[in-house]
Amino acid sequence: MPTYRTKGIVIKYSDLRETDRIITVFTANLGKVQAVAKGVRKTLSKLGGHLDLFNIVQLELANGRNLETVTGVQTVTNFSRIRTSLSKTSQVYYLTELIDQLVPAEYKDTRLFDLLASTLKILDSDVCDDEITESLLAQAFKVKLLQLLGFAPQLNQCGQCSQPITTTGSYFFSNQLGSLKCRSCWDSKNQGTEIALPALKILRVLARENLLYLSKVNASQQGLAEAERILDNYIKYIIEKEPRSLRFVAKVKGLAKRS
Ligand SMILES: [Zn+2]
């Protein structure tokens, strides 16, 4: 059977038969690849811990009729710090689910792989040691993912009348337009969220700056929470359902507040 090598991030798996698993790996040069990992659930499997979720792995795959088969694997990075933090883990579940839901099958773009790999690396590093930076990073990932997939939120002018956005007006975010709307274009029948200036400023910084700049951004908890809500609603509108992991993220946040 011909085999080939590729590097990717494990973004999903499901159990198959008694000891196998189907894994989805998001690769740099082939997009999403589904492969069967045979015997991976046996205690002494050589593939074992290498194929945990979020690991960056070097894979050897054999072409199959429907699915590829994993014939070899080496872990490149296993992000041990993310795994010891429940809130980081919940965010990563959500972000990888977005790759699974939003990136079309067969779609290849190395920038998407780089975005996910860089986000995981920063989440796993010293740069990300507080809740605000962690959330900024997750929101930046969402904005940049939307930009790369052609859903960039329009934040500089009203999506209907094209008036530039000022710091004194009041604005709404329209999921249908993927854009801000000014008050005079807003119709009370429209669904949508009013957006306050701090949240708007945060979204603009996230859209403009690179990921590493985020630890320097001054964001209030309230502005950031509002920016997060607007992004999550917009994503829900695009994928036409609520991502499963969103509830997990909310639950973990609830736990943190109670402790
Ligand atoms: Zn307008």
Query: For position 17, which CATH number holds?
Result: 2.40.50.140
Range in 49-58, 76-85, 175-184, 249-258 the model is least confident about: 249-258
For position 246, which CATH number holds?
1.20.1440.120
Give distance in angstroms: CA of 147 to centre of ligand 1. 22
Is the pLDDT at 259 greater than 70, yes or no? no
d(CA 54, CA 83): 9
Domain with 45, as residue range(s), is 3-77
The residue from 32, 59, 77 where one domain ends is 77
Give distance in angstroms: CA of 159 to centre of ligand 1. 7
Please, are residues 237 and 175 in contact by the beta-carbon 8 Å criterion?
A: yes
Q: 50 with 90, same domain?
A: no
pTM over 0.85: yes
Q: 51 with 144, same domain?
A: no
| pLDDT 10s digits, 211-235 | 988 878 889 999 999 999 999 999 9
Counting the structural domains of the chain, the total is 2
Q: 119 with 12, same domain?
A: no
Is the pLDDT at 1 greater than 80, yes or no? no
Between the CA of residue 78 and those of 9, 82, 124, 212, 249, what are the distances in Å?
10, 9, 10, 20, 21
The residue from 25, 43, 77 where one domain ends is 77
In this structure, the number of other CB atoms found within 10 A of the CB of residue 219 comes to 21
Give distance in angstroms: CA of 197 to centre of ligand 1. 17
Give distance in angstroms: CA of 171 to centre of ligand 1. 9
d(CA 173, CA 50): 42
d(CA 117, CA 255): 28
Note the maximum CA span of the chain.
Answer: 65
Give distance in angstroms: CA of 165 to centre of ligand 1. 9
| pLDDT 10s digits, 69-111 | 999 999 999 999 999 999 999 999 999 999 999 999 889 999 9
Give distance in angstroms: CA of 79 to centre of ligand 1. 45
* Pick from 141, 148, 151, 134: nearest CA to 118: 141
Give distance in angstroms: CA of 201 to centre of ligand 1. 19
Give distance in angstroms: CA of 166 to centre of ligand 1. 12
Give distance in angstroms: CA of 181 to centre of ligand 1. 5
The residue from 77, 107, 128 where one domain ends is 77
Q: 85 with 70, same domain?
A: no
